[in-house]
Chains A and B, each alone.
Chain A
Amino acid sequence: MFIFASFNTIATMETNLTPEQSLKVIDDMIRQAKRSFHRISFYFLLWGVLLIAAMLAEYIMTRMGNPPHGASWGVAGIVGGVISSIHGAREGKREGASTAMDRVILWLWAAFVITMLITIVGYGVSGGGTPSGSIMVLTGLPTFVSGQLMRFKPLIVGGLLFWVLGAFSYFVDPGVITWLYIGAMLFGYVIPGYLLKRQEDGLRTA
């Protein structure tokens, strides 16, 4: 059989690889490569905590008689943006490989941030009330898609929750929206982020 000749010839030339060994090398390396992903749990935890804090700050200020002016959102956005940039730059230097999925997830979230900023500014300019419901609906998209790409169920469920609570928020009192938003952030960002961190830590040390 020709293939035997091929294997034997090459075996004497360079290495002693059988077909089974070849497949094992391929399989092992692809498994190894799958562990080389960019860690994104940090961002879910960071933004989840920051946005819950911003919403609570707005809620407390409103209860104290101050009209909502969005300062806490601005502070959360700047703090989150700066920390995310520093963390992203450090991780980028450390990572030795970049996958197509990393790139898709990066651009998905970048597009989401742009869409969200336009939405928030649009609401502000047009006096369209609180954008929280629309933000929840919008947030559902990248969360759900990231979960599907990573095959990570807590993020898929988190994305669905953002959509459901976001849609629900159009029909309830503005006071209730605060708690819907906090619930969506907790179950859509913070808890999946924590579970994802555990999975990332596990895969890195596996």
Chain B
Amino acid sequence: MAFAPLDPILHNQLRLAIMSLLVAVEEGDFTFLLEKTGATRGNLSVQITKLKEAGYIHVQKTFKENYPNTVCRISPKGLKAFETYVKAIKDYLKN
């Protein structure tokens, strides 16, 4: 049986974790993602940029209590990619 290819953007632990969090919440800021994923600031920043470049998330730079704050939100393209990825994983596990 042929399986759907896995999306290389999502098949990375940290990027998958970011996307899973953003699927569950409407939007999350950098500190929230940092706290929940346990990643380093540098790595998280790099992976957020990759997801943004892929068009999977929208990133908005704002200010929170006079400090820069990055707010991330999943895009429709990202949501579709995530659903496809989960389906592919489930199909694999079923067979």
- B-binding residues in A (CB < 8 A): 1-3, 6-7, 10, 13-15, 17, 19-23, 25-26, 28-30, 32-34, 36, 93, 95-100, 102-103
Contact = CB atoms under 8 A, between A and B. Distances in A.
Nearest to A21: B13
Nearest to B34: A96
3 tightest A-B CB contacts, nearest first? A96-B32, A33-B24, A29-B20
A196 B32 CA distance: 23
A2 B5 contact: yes
Contact of B36 (A3, A29, A98, A99): A29
A130 to B, nearest CB: 41
Interface of B: 1-6, 8, 11-13, 16-17, 20-21, 23-29, 31-33, 35-37, 64-65, 85-86, 88-90, 92-93
A26 B16 contact: yes
Contacts of A22: 11, 16, 85, 89
A13 B65 CA distance: 39
Question: Which DSSP category, helix, strand, loop or mixed, fits chain B's interface?
Answer: helix
A17 B12 contact: yes
A3 B89 CA distance: 9
B26 A98 contact: yes
A97 B29 contact: yes
B71 to A, nearest CB: 9
B16 A25 contact: yes
A97 B25 contact: yes
B32 A29 contact: no
Contacts of B25: 33, 36, 97-99
Contacts of A96: 28-29, 31-33, 35
A34 B89 contact: no
Given A96-B28, A100-B26, A23 B17 contact: no
Given A15-B11, A103-B26, A29 B3 contact: no
Nearest to A13: B8
Contacts of B8: 10, 13-14
Given A1-B3, A29-B36, A15 B26 contact: no
Contacts of B31: 96
A68 B15 CA distance: 62
Given A2-B3, A22-B11, A26-B20, A93 B65 contact: yes
A94 to B, nearest CB: 10
